[in-house]
Amino acid sequence: MNKSRSLRRKIILAILAIALAMALLLYFQRTAQSELAGPYTVQYVIDGDTIAVDMGQEYAVRVRLIGVDAPESADHDETKNTSEGAIASDYMKELLGGRSVWLEYDRELKDQYGRTLAYVYLDPADRDSMAEKKLLSEGYAKVLIISPNDRHEKELRAIENAARRDGKGFWGMGFFR
């Protein structure tokens, strides 16, 4: 009887130790991902929410900005491309083209198309230099949160709401509703 009770305690303690180790691993992984990586050079802007970044590999890495969705301008199906998408893309070219950027990752690092998912910063010391914030504040994109990448959802939605209220960009043109 004592042996089975002792074995049960050992099993429970082992399970608790494993659960604690997993929780700590997840905590430290999330903390590490909130730090910025870079600097990397933007090779070119693909469209209003996707860029190609030189990360020291043989080819430029496609980076999809987390938390925003700009109108299409580079879709293979040209019927999906809009003049608003070209405006958003031009804005991103002006903002990021050829510049150094820093990346902040969230929980998922890749999307279904193999693109790296990241928040993009122009200045690692200035959290307001996030490209997503700038795009939203000008009214050239809407918030698009795809779980579990939701670290900055609250502040991105506040910026979108202010742009909508002020009639900025596509909100003022009636493109967004």
The predicted structure's pLDDT at residue 31: 40
Say what the pLDDT of residue 34 is.
Answer: 61
Where do the domains of the chain lie? 1-33, 36-173
Tell me the average pLDDT across 68-81: 82
Q: Token digits for 48?
A: 């209003």
- Among all residues, which ones are annotated catalytic? 64, 72, 115
Per-residue pLDDT at 29: 45
Please report the sign of the dihedral spanned by the C-alpha atoms of residue 64, residue 72, residue 136, residue 165: negative
2-6, 29-33, 89-93: range with highest mean pLDDT:
89-93
Instruction: State the CB neighbour count (10 A cutoff) for residue 133.
Output: 21
Burial of 96 (0-12, 13-18, 19+ CB in 10 A): buried
Give residue 9's pLDDT band: very low, low, confident or very high (50, 70, 90): confident
Is the peptide bond prior to 71 cis by the omega test (within 30 degrees of 0)? no
Q: Higher-confidence residue: 26 or 122? A: 122
The residue that leads in pLDDT, 141 or 34, is 141
Between the CA of residue 152 and those of 4, 55, 127, 167, what are the distances in Å? 50, 24, 11, 23
Pick the CATH number of 36-173 from 1.10.10.10, 3.40.50.150, 2.40.50.90, 3.30.70.920: 2.40.50.90
Structure tokens belonging to residue 52: 């190609």
Q: In this model, does residue 5 exceed pLDDT 50?
A: yes
Residue-wise pLDDT for 15-60, tens only, equals 755 655 555 455 444 444 468 999 999 999 999 999 999 999 999 9
For residue 116, pLDDT over 60 is answered with yes
Which of the four pLDDT bands, split at 50, 70 and 90, describes residue 74? confident
